[in-house]
A and B are shown apart, each in its own frame.
Chain A
Amino acid sequence: MANILEMRNITKEFPGVKALDQVNFEVEEGEIHCLVGENGAGKSTLMKVLSGVYPYGTYSGDIVLNNEVQNFSRISDSEKKGVAIIYQELALIPDLSVYENIFLGHEIHKKGIINWHDTKAEAAKMLKKVKLEIHPASKIIDLGVGVQQLIEIAKALSKEVKLLILDEPTAALNESDSENLLELLKDLKKQGVTSIMISHKLKEVIAIADTVTVLRDGKTICSLKASQGEVNEKEIIKYMVGREINDIFPKRLEKNFGDVQLEVKNWSAFDRKLGRHVVKDANFNVRKGEIVGIAGLMGAGRTEFALSVFGNSKSYDISGEVLVDNQRVSLKKPKDAIDKGLAYVSEDRKGNGLILIQDIKQNITVANLSKLSNYMVIDKNEEIEIAEKYRESMNIKTPSIEQKVMNLSGGNQQKVALSKWLFVEPNVLILDEPTRGIDVGAKYEIYTIMNELVAKGLSIIMISSELPEVLGMSDRVYVMAEGRLTGELPIEEATQEKIMEMATV
């Protein structure tokens, strides 16, 4: 088959960072091509160059699409040539309907007057193509992330896409939604659509890829062909990280559980906006030195549970009690929770985890400024030292701790978020999807850090949608479904099947 795309010697620099260094990237027509690499390797940047987010002239090298050199100066230029990119952050408008979203920006119109009739009919066709059985008039806000991701694809299809780019499309999806999406990509392949998918989930890469290209430090390392039997996990990891990783989950030397550190009794949280309970009658505890996993499907209420305990910033109506070290406490705002030794690392780092327009050091210190200040005056030297310390220990890839967090790659942003909460020196660390969007090497690092923390007597609560992670890291597992804790399993008894059964009541 001919190459639909060739990117030749692409180099792209940001101040202080060479994000891409003479990258060559070839995609055959009609294949599913996966792009993998560590956090900050340059995957997203390469795709942004391809789609015109970084316009012609801001990079060097050639983009050859359909045997023509392309000089895209904006995204709409690449769209005209059949390239569609779906970013990791979903870009749908929550209050608009599905059909309005699908045709947003390329409405079906005559002299500026929208033909709603055709719009709805076309939208229904697109939904059928992505195998969604929802009403085109439903509002985005009422739909789950999995469905939204498929709507993004429907939107791309409505633009007559030939080359579909997906940046970590399954990062926020649960297993069955992910499977759905991968099936759809295979379907589209049959219809002649070429796809490029960025992913850190190597299992799905192996399941779906015809070719896998590995980037490391802004350079192309290799391209592996499935047809030649070159695509396997060990091989990919070796090229990605530059060394072999044998265990995905580091071993804990010894386990020492102490007293119960945090306990929640008869906990309910009622969301007035939704008009229903998001958490109902939850009983939960975690001991010193223990990692407790909370498994469940997307939307089961795990984040809501964590947020309602962690100072209830969403103002749910709450009943029940929280005990820290067997003392009843009242956590009215996040500050109270932090003061009692709790920390919550958000699943949504861009939405409510980080302050993107501020730099790394300011983000790391913001939750515990009092520690480095005297009479409210911040010791900026100490701040720099602390930020440097975390940059080193967490291995945050950045030219400087004064880099704005919005300029970091997704995985490195996650490490900043984690650093921020470690700096609070909590006793109970709540991690909400801690490894979402993180590469294998960094995952291993984060797991190692978790193990070190519990060895020091911390308690960790890990909310995760990835079952292997839950099973690999937890000492005990709670399962949540529809706002209720539907099961509790010691790790010895926990299996994927049992958890899934409890998660789908």
Chain B
Amino acid sequence: MAGITIDRIEKKFGAVTALQQLSLKVEDGEFIALLGPSGCGKTTLLRIIAGLESQTSGRVLIGERDVSALPPRQRGLAMVFQNYAVFPHMTVYENVAFGLRMKGASDAEVKKQVERAAGLLHIEPYLERYPAKLSGGQRQRVAVARALAVEPAVLLMDEPLSNLDALLRLEMRSELKAVLASSGTTTVYVTHDQTEAMGLADRIAVMHKGVIEQIDRPQALYERPATRFVGGFVGSPPMNFIDLPVADGTARLGGFSSPVPLRNGTVTAGIRAEDIDVAEDGGLPFDVGVCEPLGATLLLTGRIDGQLARVSVRPDSRVRPGDRLGLTPNAGRIVWIDPADGKAMGAAA
């Protein structure tokens, strides 16, 4: 039983507030991704869970145990550091074995676990080398292997795959997911790569400026972002945000109209690039600026009433820069956002 409860954690570095009253509940065996831009407090939160940083206020519970005041080694977790922290004076083998040795495991046990972890991360050929002789990506895998070798109940990972090439990253990603799911390890995984978060996590917590903006399953997060920030951060290309004038509860622009949960004023329509039907005319008037063939789709970048928008169309569409098209968004998938606070509004009234 090793769920994690983060209860109103606040962290100040002098005048800088890195985390503001942040709460988060990770279920036992769950895989949570902390997703957010650089400097939003992901590493700080992870270090507080690990006990390497002391919180200004709030509590951390692991299982039923309040660990807020315990030193890291009594919290029963493993961690992959953002800058690896692979011990330079030990061979790769001894690095991976470190946690097991600290637990007093027998040599046979150590050997077995090291070989298993090394196999998972494809670092067997380097076991007798020293880290100075490894590439960044290889060192990073040593750091992950060191954490997996102890078979922790709670695993904290700070951008553990950031230094791998795209192919290896994809492979490691699926292997990590399979291993951690089968061992039932409670995992908090920090990343600023949204595809990685979507692919790996049971739930994603999107962080922004020291708060969690939204926490949900990847698909729900993608489809129903709670804020403009989440819609813009999750998904590639980012969600389109088009301001529309509203009169009498109806938003209208060009040939497009839709009921909105607002009487009068302006509303922001959050629309995914692929949730749009494209026609010769009618609907939202779209002036094509750039066409990018992405293989599976053709990505059009242009303007709706002067506002930046991106649309995915079939790769064989004959669209040219300078064309004017008519866009009809899929009504059920539009997210209505209040431009004043950037928060999503309830369903259309």
**Pairing of A with B:** no
What residues of chain A have their CB less than 8 Å away from a CB belonging to chain B? none
